[in-house]
Amino acid sequence: MASADFESKRKTIQSFVRAYPDFPQPGILFRDICPILRDPAALNTVIDLFEEHVKKNHMKVDVVVGIDARGFLFGPLLAQRLGVGFVLVRKKGKLPGSCVSVAYDLEYGKAEAEVQEDAVAAGQKVLLIDDLLATGGTLFAAVELMKKLQAEVLGCLVIIELKDLNGSDKLKPHSVFSIIQY
């Protein structure tokens, strides 16, 4: 994709993102992607940008892994476009069957994530997707889960990256593709 075309699409997506100060608690500036979901053209543009990035940078992808919960909104659409499967990484206690779990820190708390132990086969090439990268805790937990399943993490995809929080540093050596940076 030409740089001007990417920039035009990026600006379009950015115009849909709303900022809410002091949500969910004082001092947090929440970036809301819900307006993107309400607009079919905007949602399609997000998936276009992800698909173009993946096809340009990753020769073979076996599985798209979506992070609870907003990664579930974009991940299946991208997986369908790529013709690959989709896997859920959920908050602890939300998946049936045998699961693998990892504890991690959030921007404003602690949590635990899990994946079904047979969701990804050893050696499969996976892309992780979520709506936002802040401190990197959630995506880092997903990377750790994929390591436990012996999958190969190709990279991480997000709509928004909060650069000042240095979340991408926590994910190194894995690449992070973000459509919008604040």
Q: Among all residues, which ones are annotated catalytic?
A: 70, 107
| Dist CA 67 CA 50 (whole Å) | 15
Which residue blocks in 58-178 are alpha helix, DSSP H?
A: 71-82, 137-148, 167-171
DSSP β-ladder status, 85-91 and 109-116 = antiparallel
Closest CA to 130 of 56, 73, 55: 73
Burial class (CB in 10 A: 0-12, 13-18, 19+), 175: middle
Give the helix/strand (H/E) hosting 181: strand 176-181
The pair of three-digit structure tokens given for residue 132, joined into one six-digit string? 């936002």
Give the helix/strand (H/E) hosting 30: strand 29-32
Contact 180, 161 (CB under 8 A): yes
The torsion of the CA quartet 8, 9, 10, 12, rounded to 10 degrees, works out to 90
